[in-house]
Structure formats: C-alpha cells, structure tokens
Amino acid sequence: MAMCFLFLSHLLRVFSVIMCFPNTFTHRNDHRNRTSIRFLAVGDWGGLPLPPYTTPIEQATAREMGRAAQEMGADFVLSLGDNFYFKGVRSAQDPRFQETFERVFTAPSLNIPWYVVAGNHDHSGNVTAQIAYSQVSDRWHFPDYYYELNFGVPQTGSTLTVLMVDTVLLCGNTDDHADERPRGPANAAAAGRQLRWLQGRMEAARADFLLVAGHYPVWSVAEHGPTDCLLEKLHPLLVKHKATAYLCGHDHNLQYLEELGVGYVVSGAGNFMENSTRHRNHVPRGSLKFFSGQLSTLGGFVHVEVTEEQMVITFIQARGTSLYRTALPRRDTHASAAP
C-alpha cells in the first residue's frame, strides 16, 4: 500500500512536470546507463545570523532540491555565493556551517559535492574560513577563490568545463542597503590576476560545454540589475569564446536571458524572493525569456542536464513546479575563433 502511494505521488509529480514540458524529460534516476551530467545551481541561500539561522524559503528550497536531485538526478551542486547572511562566517569552526548549511540541506540526494564561490555577503566575513571548511566537510568543495572544474559526459565523448569565478574580487563589494553597485576591486592587482586567469582558461577551453559561474549578474532585470564591471570585463569573453552560459545569483529571483548565443541564468532565490523588475529596460531588447519572483513560489533553483548534444536548463520553484525549460546547443569549437 505504501509503495502504491509512493508510486502514485511520484507519478503525479512527474505528471505535473510532463504537463509543462512534453518533450524530453527523463524521470528515472537510473545511475547505471547514464549518458549525461546533471547538477543543481542555487545562490543566495545563506539563512540569517539569528535563530533559527535559516528562512522558510531556504528550507523549502532545500526540500525541493532534495526531491529534484532524487528524481531528476544530480551529480553536484553549484553554490553561487551569499552562502551566509549577512556577514559570512568568522572561522572554519563557525556554527553557521551547521545551522545554515548542514542542518538545512539534509536530503541524502544532496550529499554530493557542492562547488562553492563567495558572494558580497561572504566577503563581509572570512572567505578563507569558507575555503578552509572544505577540509571539515566531505561535500563542501571550495578549493580557492576561483577555480576550474572539468567533467566528461558518461559514455559520450562530450566534455563540460565550469569556471568558478569570484566576482567580488573582480569588481568590488557592495552595500546592499545603499543599493550600491560594486565599488571597484579592493585589490586591483588580484582582480587583474583573476581576469588574466579567466582570459587564459577561456581561450584554452576546448570543452563542448563551457560555463562560467559567479555571484554578480552580467544581465539582470531585477533590483540590482546588470553589473557594469562584468559587462565590461566578462561579457566580451563570454561572447568571443562562445561560452554556453553564465550562471549567477545576487538578485533574489529566477531569470533566464539569452543574448548573442550565450545563456544567462540568474538563480538567486535560495533564501529570499523579490519581484522587482526595475531594470527591465536595462537589458538587451528581447533578451529576457523568463522571470519568476513571486514570494508565494517559496524560492527556487535550476536543474541542468548536459548530454552529448545539448544542455537542458530547468527552473524549479520550491513549491514543486517546474517553471521554464530551455536547451542550449553544444559549442562549435571547430569554427575558427574570432580574430
């Protein structure tokens, strides 16, 4: 009987998703004959500095991430910064690692590597401590401020490269309450080093799918809007090197934009939800494909599946509905690079 209900509820869940997306959804989490890489991306999930150290949105998002990872599959999570509100952590022993992370993302399906970058709130505390926590937790992988990840799509020749970047080191910190734009890097030499590293890695990238992930948006229609510093430094690289997509948080909602062949994913709905679209006229005309910022949806995240031929991005509400899905093609790495 229990099995029956379990099966039925599973079918219903799948059904509601099928209703939205009749095309290519695979639901069976079959690890044996896999031909794809699956991951989740979530930003701005950092709880609160006071009891209960989490928000209802973070809890709902964590629960739904657990279900999505179980049902759709997830090999890892990309954590897009603002991991601990409002001032990061103090040390690798800070209780916030337990209170806001370990005790919230408890589903066994989320016991997978979490690849982490820092956001502006993390930089108001001790980012070195978040890096050091990689030695404490089995799933927390934060080897350095910025780093490269490489994956092979199982049983295919396709490859995925993810460049994890620290947009706060690159562009500077912000004061959210003053609605500030990044004020320019605190350490210009370190910012220059990271930018040269990024240029070099993107230039060298031969992967079939190339992603860059950081905290601040390149394009966003919401409260913070586009980041001028990233439009200047990162946007030309994404276009020139035919990046598949850029993933970020910072604005507290879900957005998908597409421009000049690059996908822009904003997934900053892990703890708060904001519906402002006050920068809607500050993105290229026609680039916004999807926006979700209603508080009643309880936050959300994205699920990504990379197959031999394409990268499928699904935006999922914490309430359990899949909202929007799009597919990006494999890079054409054989075409001659633009001069």
Ligand X SMILES: *[C@@H]1O[C@H](CO)[C@@H](O)[C@H](O)[C@H]1NC(C)=O
Contact residues: ligand X, CB under 6 A: 32-33, 90-92, 126, 128-129, 132, 275, 295
Task: Decide whether 23 or 33 has the Cβ nearer to ligand X.
Answer: 33
Q: Which position's Cβ is nearest ligand X?
A: 129
| Residue whose structure tokens are 């001028």 | 228
Q: Phi/psi class of residue 53: alpha, beta or left (left: φ > 0; alpha: ψ in -120 to 50)?
A: left
β-pairing, 300-306 vs 310-317, is antiparallel
Q: Is 275 known to sit in a ligand binding site?
A: no
Q: How far is the CB of 95 from ligand X (least distance, A)?
A: 13
The verdict on whether residue 252 carries a ligand-binding annotation is yes
Complex with ligand X: residue 12 or 295, whichever CB lies closer: 295
Contact 252, 269 (CB under 8 A): yes
By 3-state DSSP, what share of the chain in percent is helix, strand and coil, each rounded to 5?
30, 20, 45
Q: Name the minimum Å distance from CB 228 to ligand X.
A: 26
The Cα 259–Cα 96 span in angstroms is 38
| CB distance 222 to 253 below 8 Å | yes
Measured at the CA of 230, the angle between CA 225 and CA 233, to 5 degrees, comes to: 160
DSSP 8-state symbol, 251 = S
Q: How far is the CB of 56 from ligand X (least distance, A)?
A: 14
CB of 294 to ligand X, least distance (A): 6
- Tell me whether residue 123 is annotated as binding: no
Closest separation between CB of residue 139 and ligand X, Å? 18
Q: Which residues pair with 150 in a beta bridge?
A: 161
**82 is annotated as contributing to ligand binding:** yes
- DSSP codes joined into one string, 276-303: --TTGGGS-TT-EEEEE--GGG--EEEE
250 annotated as a binding-site residue: yes
85 is in an annotated binding site: yes
Instruction: List, as residue ranges, the binding site for Fe cation.
Output: 44, 82, 85, 120, 215, 250, 252
Instruction: List, as residue ranges, the binding site.
Output: 44, 82, 85, 120, 215, 250, 252
